Amino acid sequence: MAGENNDDTYGGQIYKLLCEDGHYYIGSTKSELKYRLYHHKQHSVLNPDRKVYAHILTCGWDMVSIGCVEVVNSKSKDDLRKKENEYIKESLSDPLCLNINKSHLTKEELLEQHKEYLQANKDTVDAYHANYRKENVEERREYSRQYAADHPEEVKATKKAYYEANKTEILEKQKEYVEANKDAILARKKEWAENNAERVVESRKRYVEENKELIQARGKEYYEANKDVIQEKFKAYREANKEKMKKYGAAYRAKNGDTLSQSHTCECGGKYTTNHGKIHMESKRHIKFIGIP
């Protein structure tokens, strides 16, 4: 029996489930054999009376192996089924063969067969899936993580297509969730920020460095739109913190005395120190020079 082929370029493969007592089942798949075996185990719970599963459940899945019989460079699933059917026809007369039906069905036949089964066994199927999800949470998560790691572009495209098709509904649900869980969301954000303080500081620092001009433009725009309110707040703050402002001013002047007392010559001919620049710019001499009536 040939070994499993992991080359993603082939179209599919014919495989065999082989029991230790010699009984076997022939099938085909375009997936890796470990995933096909995983699905067989699922289906054996849902269809325990099916010939192949009735036998396997009797001897136990630990007594069953899966292996590749032939790699098939098929152009379609239909071609792959035809090749599988050739193997089944040769083996149906063998008492050890667990296959009972032909494998080659058209796409329409397969869909109709699946639809009929789901309709006839809806309660059983729903109960099985609900129970399976509950009992195999970690296994399903690991399978999903592994699939996402093996097929990143496919998963990304699927998520994007789903989002675009359900954008309005998704955004509405997100909005409803945020409105209903404001306190919990704020608590999680606060906890995350506290646990990742260095990361937050580094992220903010990087953002400021990469967006200096944008931040300055936004700040200027906000100031112009809220100038009166901002000045009123500053005025109120200074009134409420006179002593604090005095101490701050004194400390600043002591530290920057040389800079503040530095003399400058204005284009209007006047002179002023850095500390009195604003007073000079509002003086009659300077205003007359620049031509403001």
Residue keyed to tokens 């069953």: 64
pLDDT, residue 105, reads 60
Phi, psi of 24, rounded to the nearest 5 degrees: -150, 160
pLDDT, residue 106, reads 62
CA angle 107, 112, 113 (to 5 degrees): 100
pLDDT, residue 114, reads 80
Is CATH 3.40.1440.10 the right assignment for the domain spanning 1-104?
yes
The answer, yes or no, to whether residue 2 has pLDDT greater than 50, is no
Q: Residue 153: what residue type?
A: E
Task: Calculate mean pLDDT across residues 163-168.
Answer: 93
Contact in structure between 41 and 91 (CB atoms under 8 Å): no
Residue 1: which pLDDT band, with cuts at 50, 70 and 90?
A: very low
Query: What is the overall mean pLDDT for the chain?
Result: 87
pLDDT, residue 120, reads 86
Domain range annotation of the chain: 1-104, 261-293
Of the given ranges (6-15, 27-36, 192-201, 273-282), which has the lowest mean pLDDT?
6-15
% of the chain beyond a pLDDT of 70: 93
pLDDT, residue 163, reads 93
pLDDT in tens, 203-254: 999 999 999 899 888 988 998 999 899 889 988 998 999 898 888 888 888 8
The answer, yes or no, to whether residue 14 has pLDDT greater than 60, is yes
Please name which of 75, 101, 83 lies closest in space to residue 10, comparing C-alpha atoms.
Answer: 75
Question: Torsion angle of alpha carbons 147, 150, 155, 156, nearest 10°?
Answer: 150
With a threshold of 0.75, does the pTM exceed it? no
Q: Which residue has the higher pLDDT, 112 or 50?
A: 50
Residue 8: which pLDDT band, with cuts at 50, 70 and 90?
A: very low
Task: Calculate mean pLDDT across residues 94-120.
Answer: 78
CA 285, distance to chain mean position in Å, is 65
The span from the first CA to the last CA of the chain, in angstroms, equals 100
